[in-house]
Structure 1
C-alpha cells in the first residue's frame, strides 16, 4: 500500500527517497534544503516528491539526479545565486541518465537581482529518456536548459530574463509546445548571439530527429535574439537533422534568425507569424538552408530567405504571406493584418491575424491556443494530458 511521509531536511529527503516504493509521496515541509542529491533511485513505479504547502514552496539550492527512474518532482523552487568565485558553468538542476522523470510546477532561478549576467545555468539533462518539464518557470539564468536524450517534453513553461534559452542536441523525439519566452538579457558585450531554441550538433553531439516546436510565443525584447536556430555543425561528417516540425509559433523581434532550419531532411514550417519588433536591428526572417524535402506553408513573415550557396531541394511553398518591412519596402501592410497593440497585459489572442484579413481567410499565421506559458488544472491532470502525447505527436511524420 502506498504511503505519504513528510520531511524537513535534505538528509531526511534522501533517506525517504531511497526506500520509497511505487505510489509513495514525499512531502517537503517549507524551508531551505540547500544542495540535494537524489541519485540511484529505482522504484518499480512512480514516486512523487512535492512541497507540502503549495503556497509556501520548499527551496533547494541545487538538485542532482544520476541514474534515477520513475520520479515526479513537483511544486518546489531551485534558487541558485552564485557564491563569490563560483563558476557559472554548473546548473541548478542536473539530471544524468535515468528514465521517466517528470518536473511539474517548478520555479528555477538564479540571483533574482534584476540581471542574468551574473548567473549560472538552470537545468542540464544528459542521456536521459522520457524526461518531461511541465508548467515551470525559468528566470535570470545563463542558459535556461541544456538537454540531450530521447523522448523529451517541454510544455507550458515560462522562460524570461535569461541570457540563452534551450540548447538541444543529440535528441530523438522531442516536443516543445505552448511555451512563453520573453525579455532576454544577453551578454552582448561578450559577443553573445543568443537564441530561444537552438538545435545543434557541435562538439561530440550528433544530429537530432523527430522534433516538434508548436504553439510557442517568442518575444525577446530589446536586442538581437534568434527564435529557432536549427543547424548541424557536423554536416561535413554526414550529421543531418531529420523530421523537423515548426508549427504555429509567434516571433516578434529584430534578428534575422527568427526561424532558421539548416542541414535537415523532411522539414515542415507552417502557420507561423514572424514580425519586426522595435524596428532596431535586422528584419527577422524564415531562413531555409540545405533542406532536402520541405513543406513551407501558411506562414506570415517579414522575410523568407533561401541561402545562395546552401541549396534546398524538393521544397514546396504554399500560401505564405509577405509582411511589409521597412528595409525592403515591400509586402502587406501590418495594419491590414494585425489589430493595434494592446498596452495592457498580453492577451495571446491579440497576436492572431485580423479575422477579416486575407491571411486569416486563407488560414495563414499563428493562432493563439490556451495555456501558453502556464498549464491549468492539477499536476496530476497536466501529467495525464501531456505525458502520453509523444507518439501521438510524431504521427505528423508518418
Structure 2
C-alpha cells in the first residue's frame, strides 16, 4: 500500500501524519502491552491532531499523556529547553505510531508507546520507519518496536540512530525484524535492559560510536531465512572507515533458545587496513555476559587497543550440525594491544601467543565433547532449563566445579533458576 505524503504544520519544525489521513494497516486491530517508566500524569492528548498542536506549542518540561489509539506518523525537528515526555495513558492499550522521524530534535522522551511496522509486498529488507538522526538527548523507554513478517521471517529495520548524541533506549522490546537496531556516528549511546527476539539477521549493528553502553539486555530466539542472511546478535563495525571508542558490553544474556544459531559478539576487521590507528577500536570492556549459542564466534574481536574480557560464560548449546564451528570461543586478533582476558568460562581462547602486553588469568576451560576430560559440562553445570524443552537456557554452576574454584564466568548464573 502506497502511503500518502505527511501533513505539514506551518510555522513549526513539525510534521504530523494523522491516522485519518494515513489508512495504514499498522497499529490497527493489534493487541499490545508496554511498560511506561512514569505515571500517567500530565496534559491529556486524545488524537494525532492534538499531539501535533501540543508539540508545536511546547516550550520544554511538559508531559503529554496519550489516549489509546493510532497516532500515525510523527516527524519532529524541534529542540526543547527541557525534556518533553510523550507517554501512553494506558499500558494495556498504548498509543501507537506507524512512523517516527526525529531529525534535529532534542530533549524528547517516548515512554510506553508502540512503534508498529506493517510489511507491504515489494518492500526491501532495509525498509525503515523509525529513525533518530542528528538529534540530542532522546530517550525511548518501556516501549515496543513491533516489526512484521515477510512470509514467516522478520522484515525491515527497527530503530535507526545516526549522527546523534546522548541517546538512550531502555526497557523496550524489539521483535519480528530483519535487523532490529542499527546506527553509526553517535556519541554516548546507551542500550540498556531491552529484549530482542524473533530477529532474522542482526540484533544490534552499530559503528563509529564514542561512548557506547550495552547493558542488561536479553537477546534470544533469532529466526533466520535459510540461505538468505548472516546472523550476529551484536556487531560493532568499522563503517565509514572509522573506529569506535569507549565501549562497554556488560550483564547481557545472549541465548539461542529454541531458535537459530548466530555469531554472538562480533567486531570483525571488515576488510579494512587494521594498521591504520583510526580503524582500531579503543577501550573495550566485555564483562559478565552469558552466551548460550552454537557458533564458534562467541566473543570475536579484531584490532582493539585496550581490551578487557572478564567474567563471561560462553556455553555451547546444540544445533543440527556438529564440529568445532558450533563451539563458542573467545577469539582475539593477535595484533590487539593491552589485552586482559580473565575469569571467563569458555571452551578456548584464540589469539594469545605470549604477547607481552596480554594478561590471561584464571579462565575455566570447559567442554561438552569428552566426558572423561577436564571441564566436562556435567561436572560444571546444573541444567535448570534447556532450549529444546523450555525455549530458553539456564545453566547454574555446580559447587566445587572448576568454574566455582576459579570464581570464573558470569555472576548472572548465580540467580538461576529465575523462572518457575
Task: Establish whether TM, by shorter chain, passes 0.5.
Answer: yes
Give the Å deviation of 1:328. 12
Give the Å deviation of 1:276. 1.1
1:303-361 deviation digits (Å, cap 9, x = unpaired)? 221289xx96611100011112428995411011110243686898x434223323223
Q: Tell me the distance in 2 between the aligned counterparts of 1:180 and 1:64.
A: 26
From the superposition, tell whether residues 205 and 328 of structure 1 become closer, same or farther in structure 2 (CA, over 3 Å). Answer: farther
Query: Which of 381, 404, 410 in structure 2 is aligned with 1:338?
Result: 381
1:319 aligns with 2:362: yes
- 2:216 maps to 178
Query: Which of 260, 263, 266 in structure 1 is aligned with 2:300?
Result: 260
1:178-233 deviation digits (Å, cap 9, x = unpaired)? 1110011123312x22111100103x141001100001111124443011001343
**SS of 1:81 mapped into structure 2:** coil
Query: For 1:338-377, what aligned pairs fall within 5 Å after superposition?
Result: 338-342=381-385, 350-368=394-412
1:271 aligns with 2:315: no
Query: For 1:67-216, what aligned pairs fall within 5 Å after superposition?
Result: 67-111=104-148, 115-117=152-154, 119-148=155-184, 149-163=186-200, 164-190=202-228, 192-202=229-239, 204-216=240-252
**SS of 1:161 mapped into structure 2:** strand
- 1:229 maps to 266
Give the Å deviation of 1:40. 1.7
The two structures have a TM-score, normalised by structure 1, of 0.84
Q: Tell me the distance in 2 between the aligned counterparts of 1:335 and 1:313.
A: 36
Contact 1:156 1:371 in 2 (8 A): no
Q: Which has the larger displacement, 322-331 or 212-221? A: 322-331
Query: Which of 55, 79, 91 in structure 2 is aligned with 1:42?
Result: 79
- 1:385 maps to none
- 2:339 maps to 294
Query: Which of 59, 62, 76 in structure 2 is aligned with 1:21?
Result: 59
Query: Which of 25, 32, 39 in structure 1 is aligned with 2:70?
Result: 32
Contact 1:145 1:167 in 2 (8 A): yes
Q: Tell me the distance in 2 between the aligned counterparts of 1:195 and 1:24.
A: 39
**Structure with larger RCO (C-alpha < 8 A, sep 6+):** 1
- 1:244 maps to 284
- Work out which of the two has the higher radius of gyration on C-alpha atoms and give 1 or 2: 2
Contact 1:159 1:165 in 2 (8 A): yes
What 5-or-longer segments of structure 2 have no aligned partner?
A: 1-40
- Alignment length (residue pairs): 363
Q: CA RMSD in A?
A: 2.6
From the superposition, tell whether residues 328 and 31 of structure 1 become closer, same or farther in structure 2 (CA, over 3 Å). Answer: same
The two structures have a TM-score, normalised by structure 2, of 0.80
Q: Tell me the distance in 2 between the aligned counterparts of 1:236 and 1:116.
A: 39
What 5-or-longer segments of structure 1 have no aligned partner?
A: 373-398
Q: Which has the larger displacement, 265-274 or 215-224? A: 215-224
From the superposition, tell whether residues 121 and 331 of structure 1 become closer, same or farther in structure 2 (CA, over 3 Å). Answer: farther
1:19-60 deviation digits (Å, cap 9, x = unpaired)? 2122201111111122221x2221111110011112211111
Contact 1:82 1:88 in 2 (8 A): no
Contact 1:288 1:312 in 2 (8 A): no
Q: Tell me the distance in 2 between the aligned counterparts of 1:371 and 1:173.
A: 29
